[in-house]
Amino acid sequence: METYHLELNDVEDFIPELAKNFELDYSENLGEYHLDIPSNIGEGYIEGINFPNGIGLYTYKCNFHENLKLKVSLPTVNPIRFLYCIEGEVDSYFLNAEDMVHLDDHQYLIAAPKEAETHNLVFKKNTCFTLCYLEIDRLKFQQYFSFDLNQLEPIYYKIFSDVKAKNRICDTGSFSPKTADIIREIKDCKLEGFPRVNFIGAKSLEILSFMLTRFKEEGESLYKTHLKDRDLKSVEKVVEYINENLAQAGTVDSLAKIAGMNSNKLQEAFQIVYGKTVNAYVRDIRLTKALQMLSSGNKNVSEVVYELGLSSRSYFSKIFKAKYGISPRNVLVRHAAR
List pLDDT tens digits, range 157-196.
Answer: 888 888 888 888 888 887 766 677 788 788 878 788 898 8
Same-domain status, 192 and 101:
yes
Same-domain status, 71 and 208:
yes
Return the CATH number at 43.
2.60.120.10
Same-domain status, 111 and 164:
yes
Radius of gyration for the alpha carbons in the chain, expressed in angstroms and rounded = 22
Given a contact cutoff of 8 angstroms between Cβ atoms, the answer to whether 286 and 308 are in contact is yes
Q: Per-residue pLDDT for the chain (338 aa), expressed as one digit of tens each?
A: 899 999 998 888 999 999 999 999 999 999 999 999 999 999 999 999 999 999 999 999 999 999 999 999 988 888 999 999 988 999 999 987 778 999 988 788 999 998 888 999 999 999 999 999 999 999 888 888 878 787 888 778 888 888 888 888 888 887 766 677 788 788 878 788 898 899 999 999 998 888 787 777 765 544 444 567 688 778 878 888 888 888 888 899 999 999 999 999 999 888 877 778 999 988 888 888 888 788 777 888 999 899 888 878 998 999 888 888 888 888 887 766 66
Same-domain status, 70 and 198:
yes
> What's the domain count of the chain?
2
Same-domain status, 239 and 297:
yes
- Predicted confidence at residue 71, as pLDDT, reads 94
Q: What's the N-to-C CA distance of the chain in angstroms? A: 54
Same-domain status, 316 and 185:
no
Same-domain status, 170 and 315:
no
List pLDDT tens digits, range 39-62.
Answer: 999 999 999 999 999 999 999 999
Given a contact cutoff of 8 angstroms between Cβ atoms, the answer to whether 84 and 131 are in contact is yes
Last residue of some domain: 203, 221, 239? 221
- Predicted confidence at residue 222, as pLDDT, reads 45
The DSSP result for 118-140, as a single string, is -EEEEE-TT--EEEEEEEE-HHH
Last residue of some domain: 197, 221, 245? 221
Nearest CA to 121 out of 14, 9, 10, 13 is that of: 14
Given a contact cutoff of 8 angstroms between Cβ atoms, the answer to whether 307 and 269 are in contact is no
Given a contact cutoff of 8 angstroms between Cβ atoms, the answer to whether 294 and 332 are in contact is yes
**CA 317 from chain center: how many Å?**
28
- Predicted confidence at residue 338, as pLDDT, reads 60
Same-domain status, 178 and 251:
no
Same-domain status, 27 and 87:
yes
Return the CATH number at 289.
1.10.10.60
- Predicted confidence at residue 136, as pLDDT, reads 92
Same-domain status, 155 and 268:
no
- For residue 261, give Cα distances in angstroms to 86, 242, 265: 46, 16, 6
Rounded distance between C-alpha atoms, residue 156 and residue 163, angstroms:
13
Domain that holds residue 284: 229-337
- Predicted confidence at residue 225, as pLDDT, reads 46
Last residue of some domain: 175, 192, 221? 221
Same-domain status, 156 and 182:
yes
Same-domain status, 250 and 179:
no
